[in-house]
Structure 1
Amino acid sequence: MRQRIVRLTLVGGVVFLALLLLLATCGGGSPDGDGEGEGKSGSETSGAASAPAAAEPDPGASGKRTVLDVPPQYSTASGWEIVGASPDIAFSWPTGTLAYLERSADRRYRLRTLDTATGKPGWQGEARQSLDPDHYPRLLTVSREDRQFFVTWSYGSAGDGLAPSETFLSLDVYAAAGGDRRHVELPWSGAPSVSASGPDIVVSDDAANTALVDPVTGGTSKIAASGLKYPKGCASCRTLTEVVGQTGQGLLVSGAREFWVPGGWYSRNVAPKGADPASGVPTSVVAGLVLAKWQLAKSSDRAASHELWTVHDAANGKALVSVECHRPAIRPGRFPQAVVPPSGDYLIAGNLAFDLVRGKGYCLEDEDGSAHVTLASVTEDGLAYGARNVRDGEEALAGNGVPVVMDFVDGAAEPLARDVRLPVAETTGVGVFRTTDREERAHLIGYPRTG
């Protein structure tokens, strides 16, 4: 509480001494703050972020805890809740830490963390300005040298609108374990694509020009599209060339067909059995794995109606698991994004599911390909959640479609109650759910597993 300064008229020496004793026992106090602990700031690094003042996440102004209809694997009798979180959230699997952004009244943004097992707040960053103040910065996780980092980024210019200003990418890189922050500004022209399949933060444009940001040091290096090494004899590699992500061996680059790691492996040499070796297109890179789509060999009876989807080891390109699925009647605007649990034992993407331990793939569609399940999240023990009659996983998580749960034991997708909300992710035995209230505020809610 702020101290109030009161002018007193002292009468007599005894009264004076008594007041001195009273002040000594009360202590000096300090000006009231918001508990944010701004700490150091600068263009390079800052000290560890502060711990928040609140002891528990705020359940909202009403004090009432939100109770959702959830799958039977979770209990709503206890849990935690955050009100006003950003659209993007990120996880540090080794520590069970969840990170999200909070918007302040002055249109700045603060990164906050939470222990998913207990619901207790962790460290928080200082309030930062976004280059696009009307939107939250983007948030992702990157791993390097067995360390994990949360990365927020925004793109724009710092001009006042009266004079032209160079556009750049603003990144804040936080150590997930303690919150130490490093700020990086990268001059950039044109809307960037930013990914973090590791070990660097990869920034690229639609012409395959790339910059790599080391999350440990903040150092940057640039690779021009003209400097990419193309596989010998791959004409399609020089058409629609783009940087898809990064593997431990280097950048993963794709052409109109075929993909490769410059100076490393080449898709034509690692094509899965039954595929046309010159037809591979990568669609997602995550946790040391590459999901790619292949055309079936022309001699295949189903070459005209089906495609082969394969999970590859990102380190050497080796094909791990494959499954055939119908070609979509209308190609979606985006390829399915791969999702894995902390263990990396399973991978899901759209209507595809892969058991990487048993080496088995599933295509969750009707026999004629007319209807299918879209998966959105997957747990350590092999349960995947999704919905029918939705276009992508985001729609399933938003409560649209008919919710289902799939068990990797048999690959069967069973319907759930119509109003059930699906977990965005599960970690430390807690499912994380998202919903929006009548005031359009986003809620993140954690419910523990029942067994």
Structure 2
Amino acid sequence: MAALVLCVLAGCSDASGGKADPTTGATHKAAAPVRLPVPDGFDTEAGWSTSASPEATDTEPGSSGFPLVAVAPQSALVIQAAADGSRVRAFSLTSGKTVWTFTPKPLTSARTGVFVQEGKAGETVVLARLGKTSGSGLTTSRPTTTIDVISADSDSKATAEHHLDLAAPDDTASSFTATDSGFLVGPTTDGVHEKAIAIDAATGAQRTVQTKPVKVSGCGSGPCTVQASPAFATAEGVVSVFQQQDGCDQWTESAAPCTYGFQVGDAWTSTSVAPSGMHVGIPLAVTGQYLVAAWHTSDTQTDPPALSDTDKTTLVVHDLATGKIKAKVNCTSADALTLQPGSAQSSTRLSPNGDFLISGQAGFDLATGRGHCFTSTASTKGIDLTTVADDGTAYGIVHAVDQTEGTSLYGRLPIAQDGTDTPERDSARVSVRTGTAKALPAAAEVPLYAAADGHGVFRTRNVVAVYPAS
């Protein structure tokens, strides 16, 4: 059974009714490691896990659609949140010992996500919960979104440096949109917010961002005014997406094509850095100092942009601060995967040394500026990448096409649906340097994080296991 790796960008919002708390009752001494079936190169006789058996805590009926495990690489911590948001525990990446625990104010019917963000002051852990306050006495229960920001280097009994309680009306289905340097809270439709609250984890400050008119260049044959909607937040500001509605008519021969693009804060606009001949840009994810975008030549404005086998998609790594192109590759896919703002956030990672970047089904060697596609063809299956090591070795889950939203969106890693177990997945190991791929033995787990010292972080069901390099 392949590792359960959850969406970092919200949009898959299955309700969770789980009562199990895999962190409850854990001691300061890590459990003897469960021996998961993992790729060669990891020592399952050593390391640690949160349980001695993957069956022992397999009682939770499904994920909330948000990540319950995150890694703080600078602090060398593995963070695990209970599904109901009742506790967060930080483990030493190398030893498995409990470094700190955090117990937030209680919420009922909570859907929980835990995220790690990097800033000038270091790493912070963000516990985000959608739920209801517990009514008592004359106080009625109400829906709320709570955000707790905890320093990664907290003492054993951690406290929140910032606590936000964002009341929401009953008819508002809020969601979280998180990158490693930004956080938005608000309803989402097709990867964008009409209105959201941007939260600065470093200060706890919040501000409202919403759809607004902006003037951009490169709309077909000239500038135009478009409506730009927030998609996700970054260290360079909120990334907003837009689609040109006026001043173009591609149905007429030699007419100017319509533009679909994005703006990064006040720093740059996609139309000013678009690859030659490209008029459709979709921001897929952010990691570190890079933004990954998908580019097409034109937009029919009838169907969502897709990675298909008929037209090539150019996947580009941009410098987040300037928009400069750092690497790119042309890909096709036999699976016709929808390209949506933020859809590849959960599968976008840098190697610890920063030399390699993976995103969705593509990997990039940033030193050479070249990329490789691990997408499907008529005879091969696509690979959704989960992590990449310092030598360019990456791991992934073989893409399984079904009727769920998660498998139709490009870059969205599989999650457990409410009331189901983690589906069995085939897995693979690839080389981002050469573009070669090799299937792993049946039922092999793949790491969700590969540390610089060789440790691999694995998760299956409610069990987190960390093995050193063998």
TM-score after normalising by structure 1: 0.74
The structure 2 residue matched to 1:149, chosen from 124, 135, 138, is 124
Secondary structure of the equivalent of 1:268? helix
1:368-387 equivalence runs, <5 A: 368=378, 371-387=381-397
Name the aligned partner's letter for residue 390 of structure 2: E
Task: Write the deviation string for residues 332-371 of structure 1: whole angstroms up to 9, x where unpaired.
Answer: 4863332223333222223211111221100124665863
What count of residue pairs does the alignment treat as equivalent?
Answer: 377
Name the aligned partner's letter for residue 66 of structure 1: V
Secondary structure of the equivalent of 2:271? helix
1:129-144 equivalence runs, <5 A: 129-133=106-110, 135=111, 137-144=112-119
Secondary structure of the equivalent of 1:215? coil
* Matching of residue 289 in structure 1 with residue 290 in structure 2: yes
Structure-2 residue corresponding to 1:352: 362
1:13-412 equivalence runs, <5 A: 54-58=27-31, 65-83=33-51, 84=57, 88-102=68-82, 109-133=86-110, 135=111, 137-158=112-133, 160=135, 167-178=143-154, 179-181=158-160, 182-189=162-169, 190-197=172-179, 199-206=181-188, 207-226=193-212, 229-231=214-216, 234=219, 238=226, 241-256=228-243, 257-273=260-276, 275-276=277-278, 278-296=279-297, 304-326=310-332, 328-332=334-338, 335-337=343-345, 338-365=348-375, 368=378, 371-390=381-400, 391=407, 393-394=413-414, 400-412=424-436
Secondary structure of the equivalent of 1:184? strand
Q: By how many angstroms is 1:389 displaced? A: 4.5
State whether residues 285 and 291 of structure 1, in contact with CA within 8 Å, keep that contact through their aligned partners in structure 2. yes
Task: Name the structure with the higher helix share.
Answer: 1
Q: By how many angstroms is 1:165 displaced? A: 6.2
Q: Following the alignment from structure 2 to structure 1, what is the Cα–Cα distance between the partners of residues 237 and 434?
A: 36
Name the aligned partner's letter for residue 261 of structure 1: V
Q: Following the alignment from structure 2 to structure 1, what is the Cα–Cα distance between the partners of residues 234 and 273?
A: 16
Distance 1:375 1:214, change over 3 A: closer
Q: Following the alignment from structure 2 to structure 1, what is the Cα–Cα distance between the partners of residues 443 and 96?
A: 25
Distance 1:230 1:158, change over 3 A: farther
- RMSD over aligned Cα atoms: 3.3
Name the aligned partner's letter for residue 81 of structure 1: S
Task: Write the deviation string for residues 389-420 of structure 1: whole angstroms up to 9, x where unpaired.
Answer: 52454379957343211122311001221232
Structure-1 residue corresponding to 2:5: none
Which protein is bigger by CA-based radius of gyration?
1
The structure 2 residue matched to 1:422, chosen from 433, 446, 463, is 446
Q: By how many angstroms is 1:125 displaced? A: 1.0
Structure-1 residue corresponding to 2:456: 431
Secondary structure of the equivalent of 2:109? coil
Distance 1:108 1:165, change over 3 A: closer
Q: Following the alignment from structure 1 to structure 2, what is the Cα–Cα distance between the partners of residues 279 and 88?
A: 34
Runs of 4+ aligned structure 1 residues displaced above 6 Å come to 161-165
Secondary structure of the equivalent of 1:148? strand
Name the aligned partner's letter for residue 147 of structure 2: L
Secondary structure of the equivalent of 2:124? strand
Secondary structure of the equivalent of 1:73? coil
Q: Following the alignment from structure 1 to structure 2, what is the Cα–Cα distance between the partners of residues 122 and 303?
A: 48
Identify which of structures 1 and 2 has the higher relative contact order when contacts are C-alpha pairs closer than 8 Å and 6+ apart: 2
Q: By how many angstroms is 1:293 displaced? A: 1.0
Structure 1 unaligned regions, length at least 5:
1-51, 60-64, 437-441
Q: By how many angstroms is 1:200 displaced? A: 4.2
Task: Write the deviation string for residues 76-97 of structure 1: whole angstroms up to 9, x where unpaired.
Answer: 1111011359852111111111
Secondary structure of the equivalent of 1:71? coil
Q: Following the alignment from structure 1 to structure 2, what is the Cα–Cα distance between the partners of residues 183 and 202?
A: 15
Q: Following the alignment from structure 1 to structure 2, what is the Cα–Cα distance between the partners of residues 225 and 333?
A: 20
Q: By how many angstroms is 1:259 displaced? A: 0.6
Name the aligned partner's letter for residue 169 of structure 1: T
Task: Write the deviation string for residues 303-339 of structure 1: whole angstroms up to 9, x where unpaired.
Answer: 9521111111111111111111115553348633322
Q: By how many angstroms is 1:119 displaced? A: 1.6
Secondary structure of the equivalent of 1:119? coil
Name the aligned partner's letter for residue 170 of structure 1: T
Structure 2 unaligned regions, length at least 5:
1-24, 52-56, 244-259, 300-307, 401-406
Q: By how many angstroms is 1:203 displaced? A: 2.4
Distance 1:279 1:232, change over 3 A: same
State whether residues 71 and 421 of structure 1, in contact with CA within 8 Å, keep that contact through their aligned partners in structure 2. yes
Q: By how many angstroms is 1:112 displaced? A: 0.4
Q: Following the alignment from structure 1 to structure 2, what is the Cα–Cα distance between the partners of residues 165 and 343?
A: 48
